[in-house]
A and B are shown apart, each in its own frame.
Chain A
Amino acid sequence: MNPLYLETAVILLGLGLILAEAFAETVEKRTFAWVAIAGLAAVLVLTFFVDPGTAAPGDNWRRFYATDGAAMFFKRFALVTTILVLLMALDYLPVVQRYIAGARPGAGLGEFLTLPVFTCAGLMWMASAKDLTMIFVSLELVTVSFYVLVAYMRRNSASLEAGVKYLILGALSTGFLVYGLVWTYGLSGHTALDQIGPALAALPPESGGAVFFAFVLVLVGLGFKIAAAPFQLWVPDVYQGAPTPITAFLSVGSKAAGFIVLMRVLDVFLSVPSVVPKAGLVLVGVTVATLVYGNLAALPQTNLKRLLAYSSIAHAGYLLVAVTSVLPSAGGTPPPIPMGATVAFYLGGYLLMTILAFAVMVAAGNHLPGDEIIHFNGLAKRSPALAFGLLVGMASLAGVPFTVGFFGKFFVFAGAVARGQWLLVAVGTVAVACGFYYYLKVVRAMYFQPPVPGQETAIPLSGPTRAVVVALAALILFLGVWPQPALNLFPGAR
């Protein structure tokens, strides 16, 4: 089966759902979510049966559509993320309901449950994008649907504010990205990445500056997506204001898509020898800034959602450390796990633990006064399962061994050490120590502190939520002991 069908199926699913939602007013809105989940799950199953095939002379689509292992991995990644986000969204519906004030119960909720399907399609296309046009369009599909989702709770000023900030900064980054893409095209005369690389490498040396100009503009645009400093300032505000499942989606999906594009683009630019040294400098600088900002600014944080936002920046930093290990270095050796696999594995782990944390937030959120960390005081007594789930999530985010997060960091820093990136290693060490502090702050609230008076009742858990929390926690621990299955998903990892 041709992989192109996957996205087509997802888009058709989304279109069908949104049409059905518009006309079938009597259907319970949750049904759409379940249908979407079932549909996406079906597509996920299908991904294992597609035949990437080999390039044939007539396959023009292959010029802009990658079918390699990374693409398949990130497609599945997008599908899993979307399914989990939809599950979370089901729990979150009461909150959304409160802030949209539709004409009757359930009105206006449908899009909240179906738009993520379009986002998912965008993410899947991004996974395969290897043409400037394709990159731009799929990226915008994701971004524009996120604009809507972030600002979805239109009676909630925080959600709207987040939406506006995301809108302005997103558009700004799009401007940079597009300008960079244009220059790339202009310099090489091609829009397909496969052709751009050789074309750029063939340019005379004096145009190195221009190539670099294009590279930096693209990097800036993607830096926004992956939340790299100094293009990360939107992250905490938007994460805090957005509906929680969407925050999770942003944090995982958007970042993952950003990284796969970044890796593909980097591949192209680093094939130009004159760009490599300065690209290294820029990448290392951005990485250091991201690590420092994400981890240090998280220290005084008191709001869990914002904390996870800073954490998202921090993890972007670690991922960038992995990305820099693609840079050749004097005296260094290649990373033991190839860069792509490291990033993929790290993102996979990040998916599990971040979604877990947000899932617990959503599940507990209906019974908590807010999402400040102190609101989680005594959660261990109110709901041991949720507290344990969040404990596992936080431990994994912090990078405690026998969680998938640790293996992620392990591979990342193995790469950095292999390349002799000592600055990154040193900054990373401080960053990890900071991470222990702010992640364990949540643990401290849940376990060390008594519940807030008047908030001592046990928290009921719905079946699906419990299943999600348990499954994610179990996966985090399982992959923390035996990561090979996850590595196998990414063919480049040997």
Chain B
Amino acid sequence: MALYLLILLPLLGAVLALLGVAPRKVSLLASLATLGLGLVLLLGYNPRLADPLSAPSAAQFQYVADLPVVPSIGLGLKVGVDGLGLMMVVLAGLVSLCAVQVAPAEREEDGAYFACLLFITAGCVGAFVSLDLFFFYAFHELALIPTFLLIGIWGHGERVAAAWKITIYLALGSFILLIGLLWLYLSFPAEVRTFDLLKLYQFAERGALEGAPQKEIFLVLLAGFGVLISLFPFHTWAPQGYAAAPTPAAMLHAGVLKKFGLFGLLRVAYPLLPEGAREATGILVVLLIGNLLWVGLAAIAQRSLDSLLGYSSVMHMGYAFLGLASLSPIGQSGTALLLFAHGLSVAALFAIMGEVRDRTGTTRLDELGGLAQRMPFLSVCFGFAMFASIGLPGFANFVSELLVFFGAFGVDGVHVGKRMAGDGLWIIFSPLQVGVIAGLWGVVISAVYMLRAYRRIFWGVLPDALREQTDPPLAARWPYALLIVGLMAIGFWPRLLLDVIKPGLGVQPTPAAQAGR
């Protein structure tokens, strides 16, 4: 039942905000309550009950509750979370809280604005806790119209064009996804057909999907989810949309909503269609290298911070896909952690970008400069977020990328003597390993564009036009700090999350600490 409450909290906040009851305060409270409840549930979650080797069951998914909706086809609002889901809920609460806070002051009384934000949050939370294919999908789509409104009404620059593009593109992607999910559902024999994920896991483990066109279903799901995650070459909605979106919307969308696709791949596509996933690895690797290198290079070519961050967030999805494609628990754990890490870091970056845009009126790199002299706080925060984004150790992103690299590199084993790639003396790397190498170079690329942006915006000579800029007031600084603290906490001690999410990914829980090995 707690999970229903979790979904209802932001919805309730949204309704209250819509009715005009102190919109920002209500929204802050609702987000805080979501975050708080999420954390409480996370603390109460016991990963040791889960058996990583058997199909996920109610032991792994806790707080399970069910509410039949269309019983005849096995459709119901079934909820339940494992560590991964809880992590995502906490992420949604955290980013939502910060997003509401950084909303500009002139929106203070705009109930619809905050309601839209909370609808996105509610949709995300709902998707993350759903154990029903239908509602899993439906909750994600709840965010579609609010996003359209947020960008179209309160956006920047070419807001209307961007609103169209992001909405139509995502609607198309979602529909492809829906087709994929339906296909998956219908591939189960009629007598075990259900939307209940827990049951599907068990049926799939018993071989219910043998003979199903796994690869085709997987590819349809990949295309659908891929559009939502901005998989190359379906990514062009992202930079434009994020550049035009109001800051909080960009934070929520890039930070949380976009993660839905990856979450879905982890939750649905990979566990249910392992054979399909294996056969599709080659295609996926090609596309993700596009994310890493092509989009990375395109990010270098950007001349304004908003689109640069947009491209950057697209590029980092390449790592997430690499981890997924590895099919290894290590790599997929990396991806799972990256959901959290990237969510926080990109939210922080967009928040700061928005603050800079609101204060200076521009995001063009050549019009900015030397802001660190006038905005020390923002520049430090941006520095932290930038370091996180380019995968510096000490931040959660690094751990995620590290796991992704290890997972993807080791899966095909260069184990001499065990399995050796290629003939002769030359070393031949598997596609995944080539992906890892691209990813490693992507780390360099991301440093190139982020450092350049930092150099152009915060360092160097302060233009006369920007002499009067100031930092945000003390009371408005906590969102930035909160996001960065979150990143560093996980960066320093990744087991805070990893220990909880691992069982869901087929890994044994970490044994009790061993000192003095």
Contacts and interface: CB of A to CB of B under 8 A. Distances in A.
Q: Is the interface of B mostly helix, strand, loop or mixed?
A: helix
Given A432-B175, A448-B153, 15 more contacts: A334-B190, A336-B186, A402-B141, A410-B134, A417-B183, A429-B172, A429-B175, A436-B167, A444-B163, A448-B163, A481-B69, A483-B70, A484-B70, A487-B70, A487-B72
Nearest to B154: A448
B182 interface: yes
B141 A448 contact: no
B164 interface: yes
B133 to A, nearest CB: 11
Given A433-B171, A436-B168, A436-B171, A413 B137 contact: no
A401 B139 contact: yes
Interface stretch (B28-36, B144-152, B319-327): B144-152
B341 to A, nearest CB: 29
A414 B186 contact: yes
- From B137, B183, B185, name the one whose CB has the most chain A CB atoms within 10 angstroms: B183
Interface string A395-436: 100101110001000100110011000000100010011001
B176 interface: yes
Contacts of B70: 483-484, 487
B138 interface: yes
A401 B138 contact: yes
A494 B190 CA distance: 15
Interface in A444-494: 444, 447-448, 481-484, 487, 493-494
Nearest to A338: B72
A417 B148 contact: no
A391 B152 CA distance: 14
A443 B159 CA distance: 14
Nearest to B135: A401
A275 interface: no
B371 to A, nearest CB: 32
B152 A432 contact: no
A448 B162 CA distance: 13
Nearest to A493: B72
A325 to B, nearest CB: 12
Given A482-B69, A483-B69, A494-B72, A417 B160 contact: no
Nearest to A406: B138
Contacts of B168: 433, 436-437
A401 to B, nearest CB: 3
Interface string B157-191: 00110011001100110011011001101100010
Interface of A: 333-334, 336-337, 391, 395, 398, 400-402, 406, 410, 413-414, 417-418, 425, 429, 432-433, 436-437, 440, 443-444, 447-448, 481-484, 487, 493-494
B447 interface: no
Given A400-B144, A401-B141, A433-B172, A447 B193 contact: no
B73 interface: yes
A146 B80 CA distance: 53
11 contacts: A400-B145, A401-B139, A402-B141, A402-B142, A406-B141, A410-B134, A429-B176, A432-B172, A444-B163, A448-B152, A483-B70
A479 B510 CA distance: 46
A494 B73 CA distance: 9
Interface string B461-497: 0000000000000000000000000000000000000
Contact of B72 (A337, A429, A448): A337
Using C-beta atoms within 8 Å of the partner chain, give the interface range for chain B: 35 or more
B251 to A, nearest CB: 21
Contacts of A432: 171-172, 175
B175 A448 contact: no
B205 to A, nearest CB: 22
Interface in B50-74: 69-73
B152 A444 contact: yes
Given A436-B167, A443-B148, A483-B69, A333 B190 contact: yes
A27 B148 CA distance: 50
Contacts of A400: 141-142, 144-145
Contacts of A414: 73, 182, 185-186
- From B73, B164, B172, name the one whose CB has the most chain A CB atoms within 10 angstroms: B73
Contact of B178 (A337, A410, A437, A443): A410
Contacts of B182: 410, 413-414, 417-418
Nearest 10 CB-CB pairings of A with B: A401-B138, A433-B172, A494-B72, A401-B141, A436-B171, A336-B73, A448-B152, A417-B182, A432-B175, A418-B186
Given A401-B137, A429-B179, A440 B167 contact: yes
A402 to B, nearest CB: 6
Contacts of A417: 179, 182-183, 186
A96 B406 CA distance: 74
